Amino acid sequence: MPRPLIAGNWKMNGVSSSVSEIDSLIKGLKSDQTDAEILICPPATLLDRISNLCRETPVKTGAQDCHFNASGAHTGDISADMVADLGGSYVIVGHSERRADHGETNEIVRDKAKAVSDAGLTPIICIGETQAEREAGQTLDVLDTQLTNSLPDDLSGERFVVAYEPVWAIGTGLVPEITDIAEAHKFMRDKLKGLGVENADDVRLLYGGSVKPGNAKDILAVENVDGALVGGASLKAEDFLGIIFPS
């Protein structure tokens, strides 16, 4: 079983003063032990500062998106190399908010994941069905299509992460039944094997969508769930620590 990853996605939240949450997180991790790898993806504006704070601590940092090109005339974008330059080691790609707000297709997501990998970083590739797709019984078909088309070729299992995030569960407090999470994650593992991914058992499959201290233990215990991608509950160190050390 791969080493679990508990990743926080701050989205478009956080200003200079939010950095104090990182101090609290680091303190909380010092006073307790976890086998999991811990990651914070702040807004790009805070990445430099937070990466510096996290140096020589167990907390890794990453970005929430990047361009698929390494450099060039792309106003407002950042590249994977820039993330690496600021000490980041992961980049989230294909989050449903980017797919919806910025029209990102599976093919764009694949190109971004490749750019991240080419920069020596680890892409966290997000997939997941909408409410309408779930109601139409299309969940596994959607995951099938997204996995088939969003993964770069030739990435072996330890080089990338997949996050299953049902769109309807993000920021809503709604969470799928445990059996549904188990089914989706088993499906993804089998699909990765079917796609011929080398070391498919080493791909970390995260669940994301309304993960909280109160439900983390049950979700993280599901077979083929190798961690969590956490939005709202990663903003406060106390909540995030409650997910890292669920009771």
Q: Which residues contact ligand PGA (rule: CB under 6 A)?
A: 9, 165, 170-171, 208-211, 229-233
CB contact at 8 A, 113 and 152:
yes
Tokens of residue 148, six digits: 């088939």
- DSSP character for 122? E
Least gap, CB of 168 to ligand PGA (angstroms): 10
Q: How far is the CB of 154 from ligand PGA (least distance, A)?
A: 27
Residues involved in catalysis: 95, 165
Between 117 and 210, whose beta carbon lies closer to ligand PGA? 210
Question: What b/e string do you get for 181-208 counting C-beta neighbours within 10 Å, with b at 16 or more?
Answer: bbbbbebbbebbeeeebeebebbbbbbb
> What SS3 state is found at 207?
strand
Rounded distance, CA 242 to CA 230, Å?
12
Q: Of 13 and 69, which CB lies nearer to ligand PGA in the complex structure? A: 13
CB of 136 to ligand PGA, least distance (A): 22
The CA radius of gyration of the chain, in Å to the nearest whole number, is: 17
Residue 71 or 172 having the CB closest to ligand PGA? 172
Q: Give the separation between CA 17 and CA 176, rounded to whole angstroms.
A: 34
Please give the residue whose beta carbon sits closest to ligand PGA in the complex: 231
d(CA 122, CA 137): 32
Q: How far is the CB of 231 from ligand PGA (least distance, A)?
A: 2
Is the CB of 125 or the CB of 230 nearer to ligand PGA?
230
Q: Say if residue 240 is exposed, middle or buried (CB neighbours under 10 Å; 0-12, 13-18, 19+).
A: buried
CB of 151 to ligand PGA, least distance (A): 19
Question: Which of helix, strand or coil describes residue 93?
Answer: strand
Structural contact between residues 227 and 6, judged by C-beta atoms closer than 8 angstroms = yes
Question: Quick one: 62 or 209, whose CB is closer to ligand PGA?
Answer: 209
For residue 100, the one-letter residue type is A
